[in-house]
């Protein structure tokens, strides 16, 4: 299990620093299945989770929502039949913060707990 799952998000504002290239490389090693993508000029962590049916996908979506509320850091989530797409980024800074990597690791842990 990643050390990131034991960490908590810090409150961010528009002056919070984005992760540096070196930090991004180091943190990404803990969540290698997540893609770093650029959407509308902002870097995001993006991953598609495959589940057996809609009910399981919905249950997983709810787990991710509960994690997001607990950390006060919220993703974009797309729920489909047997599939959930999650994207993490920090809206206030328009890119990636350490919080996003923490939440990606927590999302992976929640998914693995359902398997």
pLDDT (tens, 9 = 90+) of the chain, 115 residues, equals 579 999 999 998 999 999 999 999 999 999 999 999 999 999 999 999 999 999 999 999 999 999 999 999 999 999 999 999 999 999 999 999 999 999 999 999 999 999 8
Q: What angle do CA 41, 93, 3 make, to 5 degrees?
A: 105
Q: Per CATH, the architecture of 38-115 is what? A: 2-Layer Sandwich (3.30)
- Where are the domains positioned within the chain? 38-115
Global pTM reads 0.96
Long-range contacts of 107-112 (CB under 8 A, 24+ apart): 107/47, 107/64, 107/67, 107/75, 108/2, 108/5, 108/31, 108/33, 108/47, 109/1, 109/2, 109/5, 110/60, 110/63, 110/64, 110/67, 111/49, 111/60
Q: Using alpha carbons, list the distances in angstroms from residue 26 to 19, 29, 31, 32, 71.
A: 10, 6, 10, 10, 22
């Amino acid at each position: 299990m990643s050390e990131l799952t034991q960490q908590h998000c810090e409150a961010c504002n528009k002056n919070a620093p984005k992760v540096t290239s070196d930090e991004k490389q180091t943190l990404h090693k803990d969540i290698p299945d997540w893609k770093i993508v650029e959407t509308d000029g902002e870097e995001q962590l993006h991953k598609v989770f495959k589940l057996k049916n809609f009910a399981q996908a919905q249950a997983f979506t709810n787990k991710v929502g509960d994690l997001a509320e607990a950390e006060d850091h919220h993703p974009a989530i797309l729920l489909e039949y047997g599939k959930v797409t999650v994207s993490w980024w920090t809206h206030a800074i328009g890119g990636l913060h350490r919080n996003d990597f923490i939440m990606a690791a927590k999302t992976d842990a929640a998914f693995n707990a359902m398997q």
